[in-house]
């Protein structure tokens, strides 16, 4: 589990303590508590409508919670919102760049809003553009940028005022695998070099894998939180994929495991919860198989066990959302 007390000290990471919030009487968050220690990252996972963006907006001070405290880098967001905001860099779920301005102008404007002086702005614009590999494009209007370039610029802008906490709402949705990998390499580099705490929502499960901790929320409540390895050990399931030697063995297998999935070419897929079930399967059928593959427990299966939904369903919804986003631009 995430350390209970680390991060509460001034200058620490993120602490959410008993956060609840309702929209017109409908509960969106219910008593959410979590901790992200300084320099660590947490991925927030949950089905559509789980409350992820609401939680992020509370962390940024954009929504005041009905109950509970949000503390970033030692500062209570509700009590000292402008001081807290200085410590936070945000990438919102929807694009928020000014398309008519150049990359440089977007960053310059952000620096002005955050009260940075001229030399600091000039230095930092150079640094963040270099980090996200957009230096050559500094003078180009943002409306000419691809989706991936825009997201990279949003990350550059979030880092512009040297925050200690970075909050990202689906920063990589709809991007190709190479761009997503690049974005994560910028984030990890900043985390290492600047001891940055990163709080991110993503529906790409492999991205969550690289975070120190994962928090799954559903219906506004924290379902589980902890390091990926712990969650996999506790909630993950394995899949045995096998090809029986004969139709008779296949029939016997289906009788023993009626829930078995019918896979391609007469193969069967059998979900198993633990090593004891794997051992039992092998001792009974191990010598009657032509082929066997055992998939280790994955975060995908953890998500499924906890929410009853697959991450893939969200994928479809999000790619539609991304399509809309691109059309608007
Ligand atoms: N401004 C709003 N007014 C009323 N209800 C809202 C508002 N914003 C969100 N909600 C509702 O609160 C719940 C949580 O929404 P939220 O946007 O936080 O979910 P999410 O986990 O970010 O979803 P997604 O994966 O689709 O981005 C949903 O039921 C949503 O309909
Ligand atoms: Mg959202």
207 to 66, 92, 188, 307: CA distances (angstroms): 31, 18, 12, 19
CATH 3.90.1150.10 holds for 14-232? no
% of residues, the chain, pLDDT over 70: 91
Q: Is 51 in the pocket of ligand 1 (CB under 6 A)?
A: yes
- Residues 138-173 have pLDDT tens digits of 999 999 999 999 999 999 999 999 999 999 999 888
The pLDDT of residue 257: 95
Model confidence, pTM? 0.82
Q: Which CATH class is domain 237-296?
A: alpha beta
Q: Which ligand neighbours the alpha carbon of 45 most closely?
A: 1
Give the C-alpha separation, 160 to 279, whole Å: 54
The pLDDT of residue 313: 54
CA 52–ligand 2 middle distance (angstroms) = 5
Boundaries of every domain in the chain: 14-232, 237-296
Q: Is 21 in the pocket of ligand 1 (CB under 6 A)?
A: no
The pLDDT of residue 311: 66
CB atoms near residue 277 (< 10 Å): 16
Q: Is 313 in the pocket of ligand 1 (CB under 6 A)?
A: no
- Residues 205-261 have pLDDT tens digits of 888 888 999 999 999 999 999 999 999 989 888 999 999 999 999 999 999 999 999
Q: Does the pLDDT of residue 52 top 60, yes or no?
A: yes
């Amino acid at each position: 589990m995430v350390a209970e007390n680390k991060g509460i000290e001034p200058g620490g990471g993120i602490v959410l303590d008993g956060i609840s919030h309702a929209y017109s009487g409908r509960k969106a968050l219910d008593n959410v508590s979590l901790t992200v220690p300084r320099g660590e990252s947490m991925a927030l996972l949950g089905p559509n409508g789980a409350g992820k963006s609401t939680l992020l907006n509370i962390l940024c001070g954009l929504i005041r919670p009905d109950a509970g405290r949000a503390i970033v880098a030692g500062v209570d967001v509700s009590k000292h919102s402008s001081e807290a905001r200085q410590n936070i860099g945000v990438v919102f779920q929807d694009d928020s760049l000014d398309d008519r301005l150049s990359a440089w102008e977007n960053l310059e404007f952000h620096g002005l809003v955050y009260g940075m002086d001229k030399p600091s702005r000039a230095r930092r614009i150079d640094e963040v553009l270099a980090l996200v590999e957009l230096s050559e494009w500094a003078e180009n209007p943002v409306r000419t940028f691809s989706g991936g370039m825009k997201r990279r610029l949003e990350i550059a802008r979030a880092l512009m005022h040297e925050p200690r906490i970075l909050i990202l709402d689906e920063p990589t949705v709809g991007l190709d695998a190479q761009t997503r990998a690049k974005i994560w390499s910028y984030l990890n580099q900043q985390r290492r070099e600047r001891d940055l705490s990163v709080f991110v929502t993503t529906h790409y499960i492999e991205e969550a894998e690289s975070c120190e901790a994962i928090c799954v929320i559903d219906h506004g409540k924290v379902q589980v939180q902890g390091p990926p390895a712990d969650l996999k050990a506790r909630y993950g399931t394995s899949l045995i994929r096998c090809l029986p030697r004969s139709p008779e063995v296949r029939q016997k297998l289906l009788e023993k495991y009626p829930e078995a999935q019918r896979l391609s070419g007469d193969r069967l897929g059998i979900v198993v919860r633990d090593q004891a079930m794997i051992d039992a399967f092998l001792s009974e059928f191990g010598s009657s198989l032509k082929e066997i593959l055992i998939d280790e427990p994955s975060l995908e299966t953890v998500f499924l066990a906890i929410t009853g939904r697959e991450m893939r369903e969200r994928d479809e919804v999000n790619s539609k959302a991304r399509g809309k986003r691109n059309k608007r631009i």
